[in-house]
Amino acid sequence: MKKVTLIPGDGIGYEISESLVEIFKAAKVPVEFETENAGTDVYEKTGELIPESLYESVEKNKIAIKGPITTPIGKGFRSINVYLRKKYDLYTNFRPSRNLPGIETRYKNIELAIFRENTEGIYIGEEKFEDEEKTSAIAIKRITRKGSERIIKSAFEYAKNNKISKVTVVHKANILKYTDGMFLEIAREVAKNYEGIDLEELIIDNMCMQLVTNPERFKVIVTMNLYGDILSDLVAGLVGGLGVAPGANIGDDIAIFEAVHGSAPDIAGQNKANPLALLLSSLEMLKYLNLNDFAQKIENAILKTLESDCKTGDLGGNATTTEFTKKIIENLG
């Protein structure tokens, strides 16, 4: 039995986590969940946004799966998600996307993974006004050699392990010559160590155009924090939206798997939430734990369920969260 910290989050987080736990139990996955939560619900009960016991659990188990957590606008903290990524140096944001059966999309044959640098870039949030009248503001974009090298290596390692012969690096080095220029330079250096894998270089604006005309030609994309943030939601939209977008934040020591979407306050508590994004994230977690057979078994049941046209409202169906979960369990065989 492998222990995993389960952070349900809030909003629809409770419903989709319940679905995950039930499916793992039915599939007899050798994973024991240790539930620890964070966020405003926890704050109201305990006075702490992230309890000490959550850190202890994550640091002991080294692996966690997390539902969405609401970030209140205009109040105290920025984001628990961003905080955890920073605290545990989870530098790889891994966002795989692919077409799924029964989900109508404009494009077919998409299967690509985005590697987004998760700790640097303009996302560090170092901003200030330049004058007292607040007529001008600046933000710092920090790119380091270490940060760039490790994310680019992650992307190339993934390509190597999955027998993919091209990695696309996305940048704006024509304008940002020091920051993006260094990232691109390092991509060229790293690529030299991977025989048989080509490096394709694309400027971010061109990349956006290519992704909405020919998305199927990309397999692995590596880029800086903000470009990766935007591109990964764009690609999620190409394959059916945020309800089907899995993700993971991976460091050298600790990994946190998570659905990409937010807490969906508009449908929370109504048994309407689509648990697929969290479930697909859990499959990536099982592969990370070398439990590939269990990942395959659950994936087959999910695909069979979608093929039978059992879908939640966000995908044009009318199944509730519990009906969809039940059907997947039935299809586990």
The dihedrals phi and psi of 51, each to the nearest 5 degrees, come to -70, 150
Which amino acid does the sequence have at 16?
Answer: I
Range in contact with ligand NAD (rule: CB under 6 A) among 25-33, 42-50, 170-178, 272-280: 272-280
**HSE-up of 67 (CA within 13 Å, CB side)?**
29
Q: Using the Cα atoms of residue 21, residue 25, residue 27 and residue 28 in order, give the sign of their dihedral.
A: positive
User: Nearer to ligand NAD by C-beta: 155 or 260?
Assistant: 260
Q: Are 50 and 59 in contact (CB under 8 A)?
A: no
Structure tokens at 32: 């024991």
Q: How far is residue 129's CA from residue 237's CA, in Å, rounded to a whole number?
A: 35
252 is known as an active-site residue: no
Range in contact with ligand NAD (rule: CB under 6 A) among 48-56, 106-114, 152-160, 266-274: 266-274
Task: Tell me if 93 contacts ligand NAD by CB under 6 A.
Answer: no
Task: Tell me if 274 contacts ligand NAD by CB under 6 A.
Answer: yes
Task: Tell me if 50 contacts ligand NAD by CB under 6 A.
Answer: no
User: Nearer to ligand NAD by C-beta: 195 or 266?
Assistant: 266
Structure tokens at 276: 């697929």
Interacting residues of 127 by C-beta distance below 8 A, sequence separation 6+: 137, 138, 139, 140
Q: Are 230 and 178 in contact (CB under 8 A)?
A: no
Q: Which of 10, 88, 158, 172 is catalytic?
A: 172
314 is known as an active-site residue: no
131 is known as an active-site residue: no
Range in contact with ligand NAD (rule: CB under 6 A) among 134-142, 188-196, 261-269, 288-296: 261-269
Task: Tell me if 314 contacts ligand NAD by CB under 6 A.
Answer: yes
Range in contact with ligand NAD (rule: CB under 6 A) among 67-75, 105-113, 136-144, 282-290: 67-75
**HSE-up of 328 (CA within 13 Å, CB side)?**
30
Binding-site member from 264, 280, 298, 328 for ligand NAD (CB under 6 A): 264
Q: Are 195 and 228 in contact (CB under 8 A)?
A: no
- Total H helices, total E strands in the chain: 11, 12
Please state whether beta strands 246-250 and 92-98 pair in parallel, antiparallel, or not at all (unpaired): antiparallel
Q: Using the Cα atoms of residue 50, residue 245, residue 22 and residue 323 in order, give the sign of their dihedral.
A: positive
Question: How many residues belong to the site for ligand NAD (CB under 6 A)?
Answer: 21
229 is known as an active-site residue: yes
**HSE-up of 250 (CA within 13 Å, CB side)?**
19
Task: Tell me if 240 contacts ligand NAD by CB under 6 A.
Answer: no
Task: Tell me if 104 contacts ligand NAD by CB under 6 A.
Answer: no
Binding-site member from 85, 116, 261, 327 for ligand NAD (CB under 6 A): 261
Residue 79 CA, distance from chain mean position: 15
Q: Cβ of residue 274: shortest distance to ligand NAD, in angstroms?
A: 3
H or E element that contains 186: helix 179-191
Task: Tell me if 37 contacts ligand NAD by CB under 6 A.
Answer: no
Task: Tell me if 236 contacts ligand NAD by CB under 6 A.
Answer: no
Range in contact with ligand NAD (rule: CB under 6 A) among 119-127, 155-163, 206-214, 256-264: 256-264
Q: What mask, x for binding ligand NAD by CB under 6 A, covers residues 162 to 191?
A: ------------------------------
Task: Tell me if 232 contacts ligand NAD by CB under 6 A.
Answer: no
Q: Are 223 and 116 in contact (CB under 8 A)?
A: yes
Q: Which of 229, 272, 314, 327 is catalytic?
A: 229
- Catalytic sites, residue numbers: 123, 172, 205, 229
Positions in the binding site for ligand NAD (CB under 6 A): 9, 12, 68-71, 81, 242-243, 258, 261-267, 273-274, 277, 314
